[in-house]
Amino acid sequence: MESGATRADIEHVVTRLRDIGAEVHVSEGQSQTVIGAVGDRSTIQQLPWEAFQGVERAVPVLKPYKFVSRDHHATNTIVDVGGVSVGGQAVTVIAGPCAVENRDQLFAAAAAIKDAGATILRGDAFKPRTSPYSFQGLGEKGLELLAEAREEFGLPFVAEVVDPRDMELISSYVDLVRIGTRNMANFPLLAEVGRQPKPVLLKRGFTATIEEWLNAAEYIYKEGNHAIILCERGIRTFETQTRNTLDISAVPVVKGLSHLPVIVDPSHSGGRRRLVIPLSLAGVAAGADGLIIDVHPAPETALVDGAQAILPDQFSLLMQQVGRVAAAVGRTI
């Protein structure tokens, strides 16, 4: 729609699309509204949409992921996470422990990342693990501690949902719901996340193609939740020197295909503390809209992923270096 299109103009187009049997999705941006229609292509295209009051142009979308495609929405989507913008001029840094273990651990990490300049806290209360005997998280107690840290430090937080039955509980606490790599293709969970109001961070599955990843985002989008952040977290390859292989090329590729913001996870991709800073710098240089980083005050005691968690002083150094790279590519942190 044109930037000056009225609510009546928008409703008129929506009504006509529904009259001809199309499924309609309305996406309202900061300066423009985009109306997506799914249905019989010949029926939809037979109407002269550009003759309708307020319509700027009608664009056929050929990709299977219609609504997250840049063909559908040419301008970048900016996602608001508790007052923090993801996808704008600034590179957003999310940081904190991989899992909430106790109040002292969480608050020490939150204080450190706040001082260094991070704007969103991470920490999971529910942890799906490869082994059923590994630490599985604190559950709702972990969410309560994260909410307490948000009040103390002024940091919105992200936490993972692993079970559709927990969706209402987790959504009631978090500022950003995370779908982990193991659940990227859990389609009932994606649909459930799409029906709740909080923004969503969708990690790429460790064996997923880019098209499969974007189709997973489409599941969320078509249910009505358009505030989606994509996260490249490394894919499984034949290489054994890293936990996963960070697909740095995915950042510019996805930003060309989709209007959604893209961030990078250097911690889960490299799997080693010494790789976190260089992979972070590479992600920002490639155009990532943000980073999500494991920070732990005492990694040697961590119950989850201690080998990849960096110390607070290392995180402070990372923020300084990321700031310089961001400036070099015309961005801020």
**Residues 1-41: pLDDT tens digits?**
999 999 999 999 999 999 999 999 998 877 789 999 998 88
**What is the pTM (predicted TM-score) of this model?**
0.89
The amino acid occupying position 146 is: L
Same domain, 42 and 135: no
Same domain, 45 and 92: no
Q: Would you state the pLDDT for residue 144?
A: 96
Domain region containing 207: 79-328
Burial class (CB in 10 A: 0-12, 13-18, 19+), 93: buried
In sequence order, what DSSP letters do the residues of 298-317 get, joined into one string? -GGG-SS-GGGPBPHHHHHH
Please tell me the number of Cα atoms within 13 Å of 309 on its side-chain side.
Answer: 25
Does residue 69 sit within a domain? no
**How far is Cα of residue 75 from the mean position of the Cα atoms in its chain?**
17
In sequence order, what DSSP letters do the residues of 49-76 get, joined into one string? GGGSTT--------SSS-SSBTTT--SP
Which whole number is the average pLDDT over 221-243?
96
Same domain, 232 and 104: yes
Does residue 62 sit within a domain? no
Q: What percent of the chain has pLDDT over 70?
A: 98
Same domain, 288 and 245: yes
Same domain, 36 and 144: no
Over the stretch 68-117, which tens digit does the pLDDT of each residue have? 999 888 899 999 999 999 999 999 999 999 999 999 999 999 999 999 99
Two structure tokens written together for 142: 């972990």
Same domain, 36 and 158: no
Helix (H, G, I), strand (E, B) or coil at 184: coil
What residues contact residue 151 under an 8 Å CB cut-off, 6+ apart?
none
Over the stretch 291-304, which tens digit does the pLDDT of each residue have? 999 999 999 999 88
Which whole number is the average pLDDT over 148-161?
97
Does residue 73 sit within a domain? no
Same domain, 141 and 187: yes
pLDDT higher than 90, residue 319: yes
b vs e for 263-283, b when ≥16 Cβ sit within 10 Å of the residue's Cβ?
bbbbbbbbbebebbbebbbbb
Same domain, 113 and 225: yes
Does residue 88 sit within a domain? yes
Domain count for the chain: 2
- The CATH number linked to 256 is 3.20.20.70
Please tell me the number of Cα atoms within 13 Å of 30 on its side-chain side.
Answer: 9
Same domain, 18 and 114: no
Over the stretch 267-292, which tens digit does the pLDDT of each residue have? 999 999 999 999 999 999 999 999 99
